[in-house]
């Protein structure tokens, strides 16, 4: 085991310790279950967590993509196991996040109505202090083919800190003066508000392959610049195509641990990290 970012006394034996699938001085990627790897991280170690857990919405529905009817199924990882089992899983990983966050550390959780209320309830149950619920508005969202509800056009991002009394990082001035991507709702030199208008990732963000729920680089740029500083250690327990780690590398001077259960998405992340110069121009 050579991981330098998870320096831990919690490991029981070297044999049991998974090797990182990718490792540099700043980045460690693990192809494993997030509960297994988080269990190796000591208490109070992480500065910021960005978590984009399964939405539990891949249960046979339909959606629209480029004008065509497509299945909403994202993969086996996104199937609901029933309310109680989904809730139990969310409680396990959010509890682990609480243990490994520094007292002043913060967690972002992203989701749709299928999962975000469960996660929000658990944040409150586990004594996090919610700082914001951001509405990420997608101006290019797909239409609702069934025409039976409003078109789903946003995701919610909950931002919470571990300890209400500790001083968390919020780079207020940077958020006030910066734009970070094409957001027609952000007025120059006005306070950043809690509704963010950011398009879903453009095809040129997927030149190395794609993940079905890949987040835009500009969304993660805003998140990382607002709530981390140079030297911060960032964890993404549901790494997917690696957007968080890619942005951490582009911004620089941050350390990143990503955990992803599917090997194909670890491979995609490694490709993106190895071609960072092709992606950094997109911010
Ligand atoms: C919503 S996606 C994350 C997308 C990511 N934010 C991006 O920009 O590409 C969730 C990811 O979590 C992974 N996953 C699901 N359960 C997991 C678990 N127990 N441990 C680690 N990864 C898991 C899935 O394979 C999927 O790639």
Give the per-residue pLDDT at 156: 98
On the question of pLDDT at 125 being above 70, the answer is: yes
Position 101 scores a pLDDT of 98
Probe residue for ligand 1, chosen from 77, 112, 114, 272 as the CB with the greatest number of ligand atoms within 8 Å:
77
Q: According to the model, what pLDDT value does residue 5 have?
A: 67
Largest Cα span, the chain = 56
Q: HSE-up of 77 (CA within 13 Å, CB side)?
A: 19
pLDDT mean across residues, the chain: 91
Q: What single-letter DSSP state applies at residue 135? A: E
Index of the ligand 1 atom closest to the CA of residue 237: 21
Q: Contact, 103 vs 162, CB < 8 A?
A: yes
Q: Which residue has the higher pLDDT, 10 or 168?
A: 168
CA quadruple 217, 209, 202, 106: dihedral, nearest 10: -20
| 249 pLDDT more than 50 | yes
Q: Which of 141, 161, 160 is nearest to 151 (CA)?
A: 141
pLDDT given at position 7: 62
Q: Where are the domains of the chain?
A: 21-280
**CATH number of the structural domain 21-280:** 3.40.50.150
| Ligand 1 within 6 A of CB of 265 | yes
pLDDT (tens digit per residue) in 69-113: 777 777 888 889 899 999 999 999 999 999 999 999 999 999 999
- The alpha carbon of 34 and the centre of ligand 1 are apart by a number of angstroms equal to 9
Query: What pLDDT does 13 receive?
Result: 44
* Mean pLDDT score, 17-25: 91
Q: Is the CB of 272 under 6 A from ligand 1?
A: no
Q: Which two tokens stand for residue 169?
A: 């990082």
* pLDDT one-digit tens code per residue, 28-81: 999 999 999 999 999 999 999 999 999 987 667 767 677 777 777 778 888 898
pLDDT, position 11: 43
Query: CB-based burial of residue 279 (10 Å sphere; 0-12 exposed, 13-18 middle, 19+ buried)?
Result: buried
- Which tens digits make up the pLDDT trace of 172-188? 999 999 866 678 778 88
């Amino acid at each position: 085991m050579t991981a330098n970012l998870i320096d831990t006394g919690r490991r029981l034996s070297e044999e049991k310790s998974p090797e990182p699938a990718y490792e540099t001085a700043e980045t460690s990627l693990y192809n494993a279950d997030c509960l297994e790897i988080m269990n190796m991280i000591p208490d109070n170690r992480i500065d910021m967590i960005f978590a984009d857990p399964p939405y539990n919405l891949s249960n046979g529905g339909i959606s629209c993509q480029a004008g065509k009817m497509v299945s909403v199924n994202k993969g086996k990882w996104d199937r609901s196991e029933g309310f109680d089992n989904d809730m139990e899983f969310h409680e396990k990983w959010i509890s682990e996040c609480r243990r490994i966050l520094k007292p002043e550390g913060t967690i972002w959780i992203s989701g749709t109505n299928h999962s975000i209320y469960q996660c929000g309830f658990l944040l409150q149950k586990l004594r996090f202090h919610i700082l914001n619920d951001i509405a990420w508005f997608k101006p290019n969202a797909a239409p609702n083919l069934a025409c039976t509800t409003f078109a789903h056009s946003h995701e919610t991002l909950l931002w919470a800190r571990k300890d209400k009394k500790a001083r968390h990082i919020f780079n207020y001035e940077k958020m006030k003066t910066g734009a970070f991507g094409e957001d027609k709702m952000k007025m120059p030199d006005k306070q950043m508000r809690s509704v963010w208008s950011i398009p879903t990732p453009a095809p040129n963000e997927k030149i190395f392959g794609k993940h079905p729920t890949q987040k835009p680089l500009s969304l993660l740029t805003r998140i990382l610049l607002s709530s981390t500083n140079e030297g911060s250690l960032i964890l993404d327990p549901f790494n997917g195509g690696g957007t968080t780690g890619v942005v951490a590398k582009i911004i620089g001077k941050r350390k990143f641990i990503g955990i992803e259960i599917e090997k194909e998405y670890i491979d995609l992340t490694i490709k993106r990290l190895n071609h960072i110069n092709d992606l950094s121009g997109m911010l």
